[in-house]
Each structure stands twice: as structure tokens, then as C-alpha cells.
Chains A and B, each alone.
Chain A
Amino acid sequence: MKRTLALLLACVLCVCCLAGCGGGSDSAANGSETARSGGAAVLNIALDGEPGNLDCVMSSDDIISEVVYGSVFEKLVAFTAEDQVICELAESYDVNEDHTVYTYHLRQGVRFHNGEEMTADDVVASMNRWIDNADNANSLVGGAHFEKVDDATVQITMETGTLYLNEMIAGLGQQAAIMPASVIEAAGEGDLVSEYIGTGPYAFDEWRADQYIRLVANAGYQPYGEEGDYSGWGGHKTAYYDEVYFYFPGDTATVVDGIRTGEFDVANTLKGDDYPVFEGNDDYTIFSAETELQMLIFNKSQGVGADPLVRQAVQAVINSNDLLYAAMGNEDFYKLYSSYMFQSSANWYTEAGGACYNQNDPDAARALFDQAGWTDDDVFRILVNSDATDYYAEAQVIQEELRGIGINCEVLAYDSATYSTTRNTKPEAWDAFITGFGPKVLPNMNLFLSASWAGWCDDARIQSDLAAIAAESDLETARQIWSDLQAYMYEEYVPVVKFGTTERSGVCTSEVEGVFMKERMVWVNAHPVSE
């Protein structure tokens, strides 16, 4: 017995020796970081994935914008927290009476991270690249392009006027980022830029694949506005940290442990299961916002989804609460309301057509399927990204609800790359897919209403009404058009079935202030608590 005990003790000692060599406290575990950067302030952010690139003009991925928008790249105008447009790289702007000509007077003395001064040529090249590659922007301006007026002024002249060009510039997922014309020319048409040079308070420094992205403070940054005057994405920005590291731990447990041990200061995503770890603990701050509108988007171009009666039937059977509870696991993390626009979008929020939302009426659904001539051989196929566990859960609930009324339903769950390829290039292989969208300040920005994006919302009334909204100079009239259009979409066309809106959370340690969630995590003015 004594020998056994001695053996066990020896094993424990051995493990302790291996574990203990070189450090004895949590602070020591992170001491190397401070030493390496010579005592400089370093912010360590854990992201829920690694971006494929950092070209936020070409790609609409949230994670790209989280890293570089506002920090590395800036735009002519930006949104405040209340979605008001304020100037950023534009000193001011003029709009003519019929809203066909927008003229931007540029801030002088703004320098890119490579030391070159920002000129009208850079702005024209950047804005035109954005228009050429962002479908919604192109539709809004009717294919018009920016032109240089003089060294400090650029202008765009459109055939049809629009009230909302500044909102589009400030708010679109594909960012209207200003970068040097030379970088854009080097990339060529339709390709990604290979250098990430902007005007923001942080400059891109290094990207170690699978390890980290490092931004460094831009010493020559010239902030806009007065110190402390910062809201949403716009206003006075300061690089409080000398270095900002973005890490990509692939596992949520790694993120949670990393925050708890001080390895990371901020995590951009906190899953519902991990919420209790930090909730109510003064050492951490959870930041949340309503960030995603989740919906089922029908394939209106072919297959069973092309029949409006089938779409109405699917809309009738869905119980949004069941779906969102399955996805989020907690009623506090989602909201149920019918508007296709977020509640925060004061101008466009409407409950028109809301009687068709969240019907949960299997009998009406079955009757509509019968009216559509549905047979036992027909199958309703839902395409879903299996990496998005919430969407996958929602697909399974819809499948059960449809099976409950005798409708064959198949869930096609693929990994991200297969999912997006199937969705974009094989419309014959699916009838609907599940995805989510962030808040938009204009109905026209909603990609699910686009005639050229997956789902193909090529309906004459929808497209003409959206064009009318874009061209309408009276806000009240535009709101009425949108309200009527939403009612039409709920009651007749049914391009999508809206489930509800979901909340996204992130977490940071109490040592960091100034990080919050808007459409995505905003960290650019993050600073140590002592600042």
C-alpha cells in the first residue's frame, strides 16, 4: 500500500514539475506579452473565425469589417449610433435639389498609412470600385460613377435622384473604403487588393496565417471632430493601443478559457451556452445587440419554390418561436416581430402584412399545398450551412413541421464552401435556404430583395417599388411605398419567411472599455480602463 501511495505521489510530482516549470501565476503567464512589446499597450481580440482576406470592398463578411472597417479603412461618411450620417473623410457634402448630384469636399492633409496624401483621384478610384462591385450600390446610383472636380472635390451625377446615397455609403456590408488608387490599379478589375492601406487610426502590419493579424497604431492619424465626440462608427477616433492582435481560436472553449486566463482581452462572439460563465461577474463585461434577421429564402427561379402558393403554405406552417428557441436556446436572445426592417430602423419599421407572420397554422398550410397541386412525390429541399448550428437547428424544426402535415421535406446540410457553391451555382438542387442579415438603414440594401442574388427576387412590383423608394425625395411617400410593398410580400409574393431577429453577444475583461456591439463588434476606440 505504501509503495502504491509513493508511486502515485511520484506521478503527481512528475506532472506538477512539468506543469510548473517557468511560471507560478496567471500574470506571469501573460508577462511575456508585455515584455515583448516593451511595456506598450496591447489589445488581444479573439475572433470566431479567420477572415479569408481583408478587402472589405469586395467581401461583405462581417468578420472582415470587424477587423479593418473604421480602424484601417475609413469612408467619406459614417453612421453614428443613431444611424445619422456624419462626415469622415469628407469635410462636407452638397446635394442638389433633385438629389441627382452629390458633391463631396474632401478633408485636406489626410495621409494613407504608406505616407501618401489622400487625393481626389484616390477617392474616385475607391468609390467607383465600390460601385462596380457592390450590387446594391450600383442599382441605387443607376450605374453612375464618381468624377474628380478638383484636387479636393469629387462628384457623382445620377440620372435618377436618390435621398439615400450617403446612407448606402455609410452602411452597406461591402464597405465604400477609401484606399490609394495605386493599390486599386495593382489589384485589377474584379480581384482582391493585396495591400491593406487605409487612412484609419490603426495600420495593417502583419498577418500570420492561422495565428494572428496585427494592427499597429497609426502615429500620423488625424481624427475627425472633437475628442470624446464618438458615436457608432463615426467621430473622433484614437489609437489607444500600440498594437492590436486578432487571434482565431477555432474552439469556443478555447475562447472562454482564454478570456478567463487573460490570454484574450475581448471575444467578438459569446455563445449562449457560455453566457452564464461571465454573466453577473464584475471582472467581465458582456456587450450585446440585436444583430441578425434570420429567414428562409425561397428559390423563386425554379423548382417547387417558384410557386407562390407553396411559399405561402410554408409561411403558414412555420412557428417562429419554436424555430428560434431551437436555434438560440433562450428566449432572451431573440425577438419576434413581423417587420422586414429592424425595430431600430425608425423610418422603415412597419407591421404591414403582419397577420401572415408566425401563423403556425398547419391546416391552412396543408390547404395551400393542396391548392398548389402538391403530390407525395414532391419534395421541399432546404439548403443549410452545417457550420451554422443555429440555422441547422431551424432547418430541422421546419422539416418536422412540414412532415407533420404530410409534406416531404429534405434538409441538405453542407459545410460552408459546399453550401455557398451549391446555393450560387446549382439553383436546381434546392428550394429554399436559411441565412441571416444585419440591420440595414434602407430597404433597398436588403440582399434578399435583390433580383441577382441567390433566391432571385425577380418580381416586377418589388423591383419597381424599390426603385421608386430610392428615387423618392419625400420620406413619408417612400415609407408608404415600403409599407405597401411589405404587405404585398407577406400576403402574395412571399419571397422569404422571416423567423425573427437574434441577439449577438461578445465579452471583454473589465480592463477594457469602449467595445460594443452594433451590427457587429466595434472596438476602434477601445482603451484600457485607466485611460
Chain B
Amino acid sequence: MLKYVIRRLLTLIPVLFIVSVVIFLLIHLVPGDPAAVMLGDQATPEQIAALRETLGLNEPLVLQYVHWVRDIFHGDLGTSLFMSGTMWEIIRSHMIPTVQQTLVAIAFATIVGVPLGMLAAVKRSRAADQVISAFSIIGVSMPSFLMGLGLVLLFSVKLGWLPSSGYKEIGAYGWGTHIRYLLLPGIALGFIEMGLIIRMTRSSMLEILGADYMRMAKAKGVSRFRMFARHAMKNALVGIVTVVGLAFISCLGGAAVTETIFNIPGIGKLTLNAVMRRDYEVVQAVVLVVSLLNVLCTLVLDLLYGLIDPRVRME
């Protein structure tokens, strides 16, 4: 197991190197000048050139890359041209809202998706199954921005139950307010994943319910509840965990839309704004950190399989 983990961690090195080169070249080769953005539309070319010089943007590209990589090895991910604080602080402060929103999304998707998927499997080909299947298709095909706007219209504008946008920190506002501000974005973000989880749970359960050992259990007179809880559910869990794990990674990377609609200062919005204003080092650092997180999440997912199912356990 340890060897496997070390081997997987070593693969990070080439992955991160390739990511760093690609993102550095991409963001620097795209036209657009942060100095022009900083000085506004009415700045003269001379003023922009002077600020570029001050910001060190006129150095050769290779030299800028070497400096950036050297700084990373010293624990410094770079400096934002527009924001104060260290890059770690910037990423951390933006990552927290995204992770919190993602957790709410995954919690919603799992709590709603898994029971509905199981119910659909149990009630196969009946009305309940058809309604749930239709619901899951709506979930998969509904764009998160549309879902978000619909939720705001219903729960904020019409009913006035929940705030329409914003993010409130736990420390300053308490848990209640914090969660209330995350509910709508979490549901909007998790709705697609909910649809996927329903479909995955249903198909996994159907496969297991048709297995020989389930028929044997039924023949032996095992109770219906015990059959589902002890045998079917446990064996279906591998597939469900895969979908939930992938959903978590997908939500982390795909939160930019809901963050924009709900005005949440997350990592997606940070990346979008940094690209728009050509805040080079922020884009580079965020992409690097998110890539690292994705690889680590996948590793954790693989290790979880082993815990759930001894058949796929390493060694």
C-alpha cells in the first residue's frame, strides 16, 4: 500500500511540471496587459510602458518562468498584481468558500440522490421509477446557472426565505447565517451531481439485486431490510463512492458559474477575474494548486476503494 501511495505521489512531479509550463505559456502568450488594465481605458501608451517596467513585466519570458519556479521551491507561489497578501493567503481565502459550497452541493446530491436511486431500483419499471428517472434526467441536463436563477427567483424573490447572493463567514456571522447563504448555491451546484448519483445508484443496485447471491439470500428467507442494508447497499457502494468522489472534483472545478451568479468569492471567480485582468501569477498558482488537489483527490478515491472493497485492495 505504502509503495503504491509513494509511486502515485511521485507521478505528481511530471504532472505538475507539465501543468506549470502549459499554464505559464498560455497566460503569457494570450494578448493583454495587466498594466493597461490597472491604469484604465484612458492611459497613454507611455504611462502603460512605464508601469510595465515598474512591475517587471518586460523581463524575458524564460527568465520570468525560471524566477517563478525558483520561488515555488522557496514556498512562494508568486505575487498578485492586483491583490494584497501572499499567494497562499489569497488561494486559501478563496478556496474556503469553494470547498464549503462544494460540501453543501455534495451533501445535497448524496442525501437526495442515493435514497432516490435506491428507491428507483427497488420500484423498477413502476411509476415511482419513471418519475425518479425523469427527475434525474432533468438534474443532469439542467445548466447550473439556470437552476441557480430559478432557485433565487423562488426562494429569495418570491418567498423571501433565503438570501439571493453573497457569502458570510462563520467567524463573523455564525453558522446559521453561513449555511443559509450557501444553501442555494450548494443546491444549484449539486443538482447535476444529484442526477448522476441517482442514475449510478439505480444501475448499481439493479445489477446487485439481480445477482445470484441476492437470490440465494432471498431463498434463505433473509429479511428484505437486511438484504438491502447488508448485501445490496454495501456492494453498490463502490460505484456510488466513485461518482461522489468525481462529483466532488467536478464541483471544485466547476463552481465558477454558481460563484458568479451567487457572488461567492471562491476559487472559480478568482481564476476568472485573474484571467480577465491578466493577473499572471494568480492564474499560474491557482491552476497549479487545483491540479495538485485533483491528483490528490483521485488518490484518496483510489485508496477508499480498497477500504470499501477488499477485492480491489492493493497487495
Residues on A lying within 8 angstroms of B by beta carbon are 1, 3-4, 7-8, 11, 14-15, 18-26, 29-30, 32, 36, 50, 52-53, 58-61, 64, 133, 135, 173-174, 188, 190-192, 194, 207-211, 247-251, 253-254, 257-258, 260-261, 263, 414-418, 420-422, 424-425, 435, 447, 450, 452-454
Contact = CB atoms under 8 A, between A and B. Distances in A.
Interface of B: 30-34, 36-48, 50-51, 54, 80, 82-84, 90, 93-94, 108, 112, 116, 119, 123, 126-128, 131-132, 135, 149, 152-153, 155-157, 159-168, 172-174, 176-177, 179-180, 183-184, 187, 260-263, 265, 269-270, 272-273, 276-278
B270 A209 contact: yes
Given A30-B163, A424-B36, A207 B183 contact: no
7 contacts: A18-B187, A20-B161, A23-B161, A32-B177, A135-B44, A209-B80, A211-B265
Nearest to B35: A421
A52 B261 contact: no
A254 B43 contact: no
Contact of B180 (A29, A263, A422): A29
Nearest to A429: B31
A420 to B, nearest CB: 4
A276 to B, nearest CB: 15
A60 B40 contact: yes
Contact of B128 (A4, A191, A417): A4
Contacts of B173: 32, 36
Given A52-B37, A210-B94, A421 B31 contact: yes
A18 B183 contact: yes
Nearest to B55: A191
B38 A52 contact: yes
Contact of A260 (B108, B128, B157): B157
Contacts, number: 201
A19 B180 CA distance: 8
Contact of A452 (B44, B152, B183): B44
Nearest to B51: A190
B263 A254 contact: yes
Contacts of B163: 29-30, 261, 263
A192 B38 contact: yes
Contacts of A424: 33, 36, 43-45, 48
A315 B165 CA distance: 45
A404 to B, nearest CB: 30
A59 B47 CA distance: 10
Given A58-B39, A416-B276, A29 B32 contact: no
Given A7-B132, A417-B34, A421-B36, A61 B160 contact: no
B47 A4 contact: no
Contacts of A447: 42
Contacts of B90: 209
A296 B187 CA distance: 46
B41 A60 contact: yes
Contact of A29 (B36, B160, B273): B160
Contacts of A417: 31-34, 36-37, 276-278
Between B41, B116, B156, the greatest number of chain A beta carbons within 10 A of the residue's beta carbon is seen for B41
Given A21-B183, A29-B163, 8 more contacts: A3-B126, A25-B160, A191-B54, A209-B90, A210-B269, A249-B165, A417-B33, A417-B36
Nearest to A136: B42
Contacts of B187: 15, 18
Contact of A435 (B41, B46, B176, B269): B41
B96 to A, nearest CB: 12
Closest 7 CB pairs of A and B: A417-B32, A26-B160, A211-B265, A61-B40, A210-B265, A60-B42, A32-B177
Given A18-B108, A52-B37, A210-B273, A257 B156 contact: yes
Given A52-B277, A420-B33, A452-B46, A22 B269 contact: no
